[in-house]
A and B are shown apart, each in its own frame.
Chain A
Amino acid sequence: MEVRSRAFARYAQRALSDKALQAALNGATGRLSALRAAAIAAFPGYDAARERASAVKEDTLARLDEQLARFIEEASRRGAVVHVARDAAQAREIAVGIAKEEGISLAVKSKSMVAEEVDLNAALQEAGVEVVESDLGEYIVQLAGEPPSHIIVPAVHKTRGEISRLFETRLGEPPTDSIPRLVATARKRLREKFLSAGMGITGANFLVAETGSVVLLTNEGNGRMGTTLPRVHLAVTGIEKVLPRMSDLPVFLRLLPRSATGQPLTSYVSILTGTRREGDPEGPERLHILLVDGGRSAILEGKYREMLKCIRCGACLNACPVYQNVGGHAYGWVYPGPMGAVLTPLLTGLAESSPLPDASTLCGACAEVCPVKIPLPHFLLELRADVREQGLKTPGEIAGMKMLASVMKRAGLLEAAERILGALSQFLSRGNPISGLPYPFAGWTERRDFPAAAKRPFRKEWKIRRGVRE
């Protein structure tokens, strides 16, 4: 997917003036946050579970090579063909190769962020394979020709009216304001696809090294149908999804849905181990597992390693007041919100996405809800420092900061600066709050005032009142 994160500010402004988007976003993120909070409050073992999940991830990342080798060995032993792609281009090439080799003309796909990351649909469609998204939200954004705007709720930005109009224009359905009717329409359309598709494509929430299993959590059953009905199953996922043992899985099965949607468990948990064996009533004849590196090994080596603990629950998106107002598309790539503001620069490079680390007030709400304890605000700060180090800051900002630091190095200079500031602001405001600041602060005063500087700063006044000699 093309990275458009440099235009964050422009997209954010556009999102702010989109009334339907605002209504949809604020409602949904608020509801999801409330559901999460209630589910966590009703989960007495939350702190311990969080500690354990974080520790399992830490431990796995510390010996990821070993875990991956184990996973590949065990999955292969059970009939899967495991492929490893170092980057997006190679991932596309492998996936297209599999589709051709298996003679696939139609594929049903359940939600996979990694597939978005490597732009899988476009590559398959170019190779003559029709790809139909089967997650309801993904289906909606696919019909709209848009990328998902949330990692859990892809169509979170759409109102039911917009979805009805979309179904009307793209599917020729009569307009309706009934959500069950909309769902029924999608279900009917998708059912046909499930039954005729040659390949089911999924992501993976977890991989279990011990058994070579692919674990999927879904709420719509589409993951289950896509992995059992078609002849071929292709699972596309990141190399960081591996867990050492099956006994490591339950804690994540409890944390992920609670953090994402407030559910104690998702409606469907599929643990897919190997291909269909003799006597099995269902399951794919062929199972391909495509493990994508795409920059993850590099993250593993550096100071942002903990970012690979992310289980894509989306809690940080829902908790983030910036995401709540600008939505996922403003972030300009696959991963939005606080996790995306960290992950996108790490995967695409800061040159492509330098505004993202600034898209946060550092309020810390994201870290508070992260079930695996990723220090997101800390990483945002580190990335901001990297922006400076990589020479991606504007000369104006650097000059401004240098000036600030040189003034702040001496209290006397600060006092002189305050005298100028005081005189200037008293002149501008005549003692009232200032309603118009000059560039680059003009945006500040568009909808709010700024206080005039005090006639006498505290330091000066203190010296006078306490008789301190200059």
Chain B
Amino acid sequence: MDPKGPVPVSLFFTCLADAFAPGVCFATVEVLERFGAQVRVPLSQTCCGQPAFNTGNRKEARAMARKFLRSFPEDGYIVTPSGSCASMVKHGYPVLFRDEPRTLALARAASERIYELSQFLVEVLGVTDPKSSFTGKVTYHDSCHLRRGLGVVDPPRTLLRAIPGVKLVEMEESDRCCGFGGVFSVKHPQVSCRMTEQKIERILATGASYVTAGDLGCLLSIGGMISRHGYPVKAVHLAEILAGAPWDAEEAF
């Protein structure tokens, strides 16, 4: 950790977690503060623009991305409990502003400062033990944008394995897409559901009590299907496991 003092971190809480899972945002703050980060929460932030970008609506995506860039201070890290939102800022912004040199410079700077939570803890703060009190058999789903977009494979596993009460059990093809895909799940719900069903089969085969991931989107789809069919497993965001019990059951997706 930085010997010079607290590490300044701006929380990018994401519009999805803001509206549907505030507990995930609080858990993220708790974990960051536990490891000495000085967490700032820019209250003017909204959405990174991913829904517009991923549907090809570039003009609207740019408007939202500009708002993002204005909302965050120009110094310190930006940390978010979402692999796909981090990936949007990191890889999407340079594409969005490729023809606008001034904004592009800002976008590039932001893309260098943004981290997903587990990545930040392990790669920047050097955390090896999250000091969490969570208990249970857990299986981890590799969200596509976290794994392939940001290249984060080991950090969540390292952290989960370090929690004494957690038994991490790997599912088959943990890196296979869960079928959410943002707007894909709305445009092609049948295909999306089939993929989610396949993911759940693999989750259930592990016998885990909890499935976790670093992306709320995946958990909305996986958790939504678990809730509909009453499968014996709970979908919990990685931040909540890292924050540890007491975990609020009402926050289940």
Contact = CB atoms under 8 A, between A and B. Distances in A.
A409 B144 contact: no
A185 interface: no
B162 interface: no
A442 to B, nearest CB: 8
Interface stretch (A230-238, A310-318, A378-386): A378-386
Contact of A388 (B44, B57, B177): B57
B148 to A, nearest CB: 4
A439 to B, nearest CB: 10
B63 A448 contact: no
A347 interface: no
Contacts of A411: 43-46, 71
B146 to A, nearest CB: 11
A20 interface: no
Nearest to A456: B22
Interface in A434-470: 435, 440-441, 443-451, 453-454, 456-459, 461-463, 466, 468
Interface string B159-202: 00000000000000001110111111111111111111110000
A176 interface: no
B189 A443 contact: yes
B177 A365 contact: yes
Contacts of A402: 60
A361 B193 CA distance: 12
Contacts of A179: none
B149 A364 contact: yes
Interface residues of A, number: 68
A322 interface: yes
A361 B52 contact: no
A448 B193 contact: yes
Interface stretch (A9-17, A42-50, A111-119, A286-294): A9-17
B231 to A, nearest CB: 11
Contact of B58 (A388, A404, A445, A453): A388
A362 interface: yes
A416 interface: no
Given A404-B52, A459-B43, A451 B191 contact: no
A98 B245 CA distance: 76
Interface string B62-78: 01100100010000000
Contacts of B225: 447-449
B18 interface: yes
A358 B181 CA distance: 10
The dominant DSSP class at the A interface is helix
B190 A12 contact: yes
B202 to A, nearest CB: 12
B177 A454 contact: no
B190 A363 contact: no
Contacts of B63: 405, 408-409
A345 B185 CA distance: 22
Contact of A451 (B15, B21, B45, B179): B21
B47 interface: yes
With most chain B CB atoms within 10 A of its CB, the pick from A357, A358, A360 is A358
A321 B148 CA distance: 15
Contacts of A357: 56
A457 B193 contact: no
B210 interface: no
A466 B159 CA distance: 29
A385 B92 CA distance: 13
A166 interface: no
With most chain A CB atoms within 10 A of its CB, the pick from B144, B149, B190 is B190
Contacts of B182: 361-362
A273 B70 CA distance: 62
Given A360-B184, A449-B227, A322 B191 contact: yes
A447 B67 contact: no
A421 interface: yes
Given A411-B43, A446-B190, A468-B43, 17 more contacts: A9-B188, A12-B191, A16-B191, A321-B195, A358-B184, A360-B184, A361-B195, A381-B53, A398-B57, A405-B63, A408-B67, A411-B46, A433-B228, A440-B186, A443-B189, A456-B22, A457-B18
Interface of A: 9, 12-13, 16, 321-322, 325-326, 357-365, 367-368, 378, 381, 383-388, 393, 397-398, 401-402, 404-405, 407-411, 414, 418, 421-422, 431, 433, 435, 440-441, 443-451, 453-454, 456-459, 461-463, 466, 468
19 contacts: A13-B190, A16-B190, A360-B181, A360-B184, A363-B144, A368-B148, A398-B57, A401-B60, A408-B47, A410-B46, A418-B18, A431-B250, A433-B227, A441-B186, A448-B196, A448-B225, A448-B227, A458-B17, A459-B43
Nearest 10 A/B pairs, CB to CB: A361-B181, A384-B56, A443-B189, A363-B177, A405-B60, A448-B224, A458-B22, A364-B148, A363-B144, A448-B225
